[in-house]
Structures are given as C-alpha cells and as structure tokens.
C-alpha cells in the first residue's frame, strides 16, 4: 500500500485527521509534507548554532584607517595635527595604518541563505496546497458528533503546525540577514575555506541533498532527518489506497477528473468526473447530518454518517447514490454492517414512480471493499444492494472494481 500510495501521491502517507496513531514509524513511510516540515524543523533548529559557530574573517576589501604610534606597516599621515616641529623640521608624531575590518564570513552566510531559500521555495507551495485541503475538509467534516469535533481539533493542530513551520523559516532567514548587517546576498557557491564547527559540517551533509536536483526534496532529505514523521495507521492507509484505486478505475473507464482529487483523498472533499454529457460526483469522507448536504443526501438515522466513498449520479427524478466503504476486515458480520447506509442515508428529493412520490430515496447500493483475493464481486443480497468488492493490495485485480464501476457508469449515462 505504501509503495502504491507513494507513486500516486506522497501526501497520502500523512496521518491526516485520523484519531488513531501508530507508535512505530519508519523512514520508508514518510509522506512528502512530513519530510518537508521535518526538513524545515531541522534547518531552523540548526541556524542559531550555525550563526554562533561562524567566525569573523578579515576581508582585505573592507578596511579602516587607524592611527599608529609606530611606523610598522604604516604610512605618513596627511593630517597637520599628526606632525610636530623639532630642531627646525617637521617630525611625525603618529602614522596611519590600513587594517582590514573583521566581519562575519559573508560567503558562508550567502550560501546558508541560498539553502534556506531553496527550502522556502518548495515549502511554500506545499503549505498553501495543504491549507486549501484543510479548508475543504472543514466543510466536509462538519457535524455535531464527538467525531466531528475530534476531526476539527486535528485540522486545527495540522494548520498550526504549517503556520509554525512558515514562521520559523522566515525567522531563520531574518537571523542570517541581521548577522551580516544586511550585506548578505544569496549564493549557490559553497564557502571556501569552509567554516569550522560541528553544525557547519552537519549542514554540508544536508546541503548536498538539498541541492541535488535529480530527485525531489522530500526523497533527498528523508534519510537525513533524525526523527521520522508520524505515518497514518494501516486502516486509514487502506482506505486511501481504495480511494486511489477508485479514482484510477473511473479514469480507466474514460472519465475525466475535475479538481484536485489528492486533497479529497488526503483529508476529505469532493471530486467530479465527466464523460460526454454524464457526470459522477465522488464525495470522500464527507460527514452527512440531518441538514441538506451538497451531495443531495442527508442522514436520517443517528447524529451523522460518514461513508468513505459516496458516488452520486443522475437518477429517475433525482439523484441516486452508490456507497462504498473500506474495511481491512474479512469478517462477514463486519462486512454486512456496511449496509447501514441504506437506512442512514436519504436523498433530499423523494423517490418518484410514474410521477408519484413512492417514498424516501435511498442509496441504490451500500457495499464494502475488503482485501479478498477474488476475481469477482460477491453479492450479499439477491438484489445487489449489499455486497463486497475484492480489493487486495498484494494480489491486486482491477476486474471486480471495474465491473462495479461499470454499473455506476451505465446508470449515470442512462439518466444523463
């Protein structure tokens, strides 16, 4: 799952807003944003020590004239006050010596500023993108249940972490500029001779990977971080893996995607698919309450309901829904429990038959996707309202999901 998600989008390896966290972490499981934030944390923590260890150097281009009471390495002064009469002649009382002015090693500071700016150039778009995901997730996960409040708290923590990273990097840059009295200019050239100090030698290892353009920044510096970022737990990773396969499956059937599906799979959101005149709306982890939801459905049993994947298509006289809920369990009781959305969800528009209201509009299907190694879907009820789509990460067979999505496609195109 990790290998598939990393090739699809490294951000899907982030913990997100899962209330469950794994204690064990490995560097191989780092997500893109965690590595970027970890790199910023490593750099911003290193900058104060780098500035403390930086020695002043004498720059021959920057000099000052000082009075000297000896003629050693000095010249005669042109000031009348520095001469006196003695035995009928003029004798110098002091000389002028040109001394270089010690100042911070600007070459080292210029290179350090360059490394900070490289980090900033890759961090800022990542933060802006994630902040956009957070805003959409706030709308998608709102509700009155304890889970809704827990999700909101997790989103606020994630947002504060992003803002802290941005502020810390900006503060480090300002510290470098102040140390040089505003004289520093970014330079890609490493200083020679190289500054002494343990922190500077550690920076050299980090810099070699930051400036290597053959790979992404996240991959370059992942192995250099002392503490690996926290990774999401397996059930959440499996859910995102199923969402990834769902998006890929629709695209394989010729549906074009509109919007940023990575953000929806990462935190929650909405993705639109279009094929000719037909449309399919995919709602990922949206919390449905008793109030009308933009999907056209609401929750009528309990405080709220959060199906993993809700596909909404045109139907007879209104919108129809297909629910797919991911679970790592293969227990029959757990799989049968996924039928709950048939009773919990209801369309805002009622079901119509021959122009007459026939009752509430319920989802047409409420299925589970589970890691079975089967070559076909499995029906739980005769009418097909409940069943299982086999989705095994190790023995991946796209045929069952393709068959399930083909039914959704036929329904959408028939009523478009």
207 assigned to some structural domain: yes
Count of domains forming the chain: 2
220 assigned to some structural domain: yes
pTM: 0.81
Q: Give the residue carrying structure tokens 């083909």.
A: 406
- Whether 306 and 387 map to the same domain: the answer is yes
Q: What is the pLDDT at residue 6? A: 85
Give the Cα separation of 40 and 103 in Å (integer).
27
| Contact call for residues 196 and 57 (beta carbons, < 8 A) | no
Give the Cα separation of 14 and 130 in Å (integer).
11
Give the Cα separation of 325 and 313 in Å (integer).
17
238 C-beta neighbours (distance < 10 Å), count = 21
- Whether 257 and 330 map to the same domain: the answer is yes
Averaged pLDDT score across all residues of the chain: 87
Going by the DSSP 8-state scheme, the letter that residue 98 receives in this structure is: E
Tell me the percentage of the chain whose pLDDT exceeds 90: 56
pLDDT: which is higher, 339 or 218: 339
| Contact call for residues 322 and 368 (beta carbons, < 8 A) | no
pLDDT: which is higher, 19 or 109: 109
Tell me the percentage of the chain whose pLDDT exceeds 70: 89
Instruction: For the chain, count helices (H), then strands (E).
Output: 11, 17
Bridge partner list, 319 = 314
- Whether 219 and 239 map to the same domain: the answer is no
Would you state the structure tokens that stand for residue 25, as one six-digit string? 């972490």
Give the Cα separation of 335 and 337 in Å (integer).
5
Question: Residue 113 phi/psi, 5° resolution?
Answer: -65, -40
Indicate whether 224 pLDDT > 70.
no
- Whether 274 and 390 map to the same domain: the answer is yes
Q: How confident is the model at residue 23 (pLDDT cuts 50, 70, 90)?
A: very low
- Whether 145 and 266 map to the same domain: the answer is no
Q: What is the pLDDT at residue 186? A: 93
Q: What is the pLDDT at residue 177? A: 94
Indicate whether 286 pLDDT > 70.
yes
Give the Cα separation of 151 and 287 in Å (integer).
11
Q: Give the residue carrying structure tokens 């122009």.
A: 355
3-state helix, strand, coil in the chain (%, to 5): 45, 20, 35
- Whether 202 and 303 map to the same domain: the answer is no
- Whether 257 and 214 map to the same domain: the answer is no
- Whether 202 and 134 map to the same domain: the answer is yes
136 assigned to some structural domain: yes
Among 224, 258, 292, the domain boundary falls at: 224
**Cα angle: 236, vertex 33, 153; to 5 degrees:** 60
Interstrand relation of 95-104 and 75-76 (parallel, antiparallel or unpaired): antiparallel
| Burial (CB count within 10 angstroms: exposed 0-12, middle 13-18, buried 19+), residue 280 | buried
- Whether 191 and 267 map to the same domain: the answer is no
65 assigned to some structural domain: no
- Whether 363 and 265 map to the same domain: the answer is yes
Among 200, 224, 248, the domain boundary falls at: 224
Give the Cα separation of 209 and 217 in Å (integer).
8
- Whether 144 and 276 map to the same domain: the answer is no
- Backbone Cα Rg of the chain: 32
Tens digits of per-residue pLDDT, 201-210? 989 888 877 7
Indicate whether 228 pLDDT > 50.
no
Q: 3-class DSSP state for residue 212?
A: coil
Would you state the structure tokens that stand for residue 180, as one six-digit string? 């040089």
Question: Residue 363 phi/psi, 5° resolution?
Answer: -55, 145
Question: Residue 347 phi/psi, 5° resolution?
Answer: -70, 150
**Which secondary-structure segment (H or E) carries 164?**
helix 146-179
Q: How confident is the model at residue 320 (pLDDT cuts 50, 70, 90)?
A: very high
276 assigned to some structural domain: yes
> Span 281-306, mean pLDDT?
95
**Range(s) of the domain holding residue 258:** 234-414
Task: Note the Cα 86 to chain centre separation in Å.
Answer: 81
What DSSP line would sit under 248-302, residue for residue? HHHHHTTPEEES-HHHHHHT-EEEEEEETTEEEEEEESPPB-SS--TTSEEE-SS
How many alpha carbons fall within 13 Å on the CB side of residue 78? 1
Tens digits of per-residue pLDDT, 151-170? 999 899 889 988 999 999 99
- Whether 205 and 246 map to the same domain: the answer is no
363 assigned to some structural domain: yes
Task: Note the Cα 129 to chain centre separation in Å.
Answer: 7
Going by the DSSP 8-state scheme, the letter that residue 216 receives in this structure is: -
Question: Which string of b and e fits 217-231 if b means at least 16 CB within 10 Å?
Answer: bbbbbbebbeebbbb
102-106, 133-137, 282-286, 408-412: the lowest-pLDDT one? 102-106
Going by the DSSP 8-state scheme, the letter that residue 355 receives in this structure is: T
386 assigned to some structural domain: yes
121 assigned to some structural domain: yes
Q: What is the pLDDT at residue 215? A: 52
Among 176, 200, 224, the domain boundary falls at: 224
């Amino acid at each position: 799952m990790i290998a598939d998600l990393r090739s699809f989008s490294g951000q899907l390896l982030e913990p997100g807003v899962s209330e469950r966290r794994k204690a064990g972490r490995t560097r191989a499981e780092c997500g893109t944003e965690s590595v970027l934030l970890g790199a910023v944390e490593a750099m911003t923590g290193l900058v104060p020590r780098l500035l403390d260890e930086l020695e002043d150097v004498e720059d021959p281009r920057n000099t000052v004239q000082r009075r000297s009471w000896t003629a050693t390495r000095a010249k005669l002064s042109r000031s009348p006050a520095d001469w006196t009469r003695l035995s009928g002649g003029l004798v110098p009382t002091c000389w002028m010596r040109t001394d270089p002015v010690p100042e911070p090693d600007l070459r080292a500071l210029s290179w350090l500023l360059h490394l900070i700016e490289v980090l900033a150039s890759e961090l800022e778009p990542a933060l802006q993108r994630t902040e956009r995901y957070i805003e959409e997730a706030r709308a998608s996960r709102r509700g009155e249940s304890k889970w809704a409040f827990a999700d909101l708290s997790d989103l606020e923590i994630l947002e504060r972490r992003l803002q802290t990273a941005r502020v810390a990097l900006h503060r480090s840059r300002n510290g470098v500029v102040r140390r040089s009295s505003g004289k520093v200019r970014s330079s890609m050239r490493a200083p020679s001779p190289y500054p002494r100090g343990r922190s500077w030698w550690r920076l050299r290892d980090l810099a070699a990977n930051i400036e290597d353009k053959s790979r992404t920044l996240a991959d370059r510096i992942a192995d250099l971080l002392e503490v690996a970022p926290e990774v999401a737990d397996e059930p959440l990773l499996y859910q995102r893996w199923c969402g990834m396969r769902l998006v890929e499956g629709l695209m394989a059937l010729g549906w074009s995607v509109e919007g940023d599906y990575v953000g929806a799979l990462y935190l929650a959101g909405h993705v639109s698919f279009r094929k000719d005149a037909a449309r399919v709306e995919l709602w990922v982890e949206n919390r449905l309450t008793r109030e009308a939801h933009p999907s056209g459905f609401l929750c009528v049993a309990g405080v709220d309901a959060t199906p993993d994947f809700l596909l909404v298509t045109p139907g007879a006289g209104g919108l129809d829904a297909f629910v797919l809920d991911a679970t790592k369990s293969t227990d029959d009781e757990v799989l049968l429990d996924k039928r709950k959305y048939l009773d919990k969800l209801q369309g805002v528009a009622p079901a119509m038959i021959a122009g007459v209201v026939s009752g509430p509009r319920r989802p047409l299907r409420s299925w589970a996707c589970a890691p079975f190694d089967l070559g076909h879907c499995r029906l739980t009820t005769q009418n097909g309202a409940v069943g299982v789509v086999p989705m095994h990460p190790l023995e991946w067979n796209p045929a069952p999901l393709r068959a399930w999505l083909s039914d959704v496609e036929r329904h959408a195109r028939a009523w478009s």
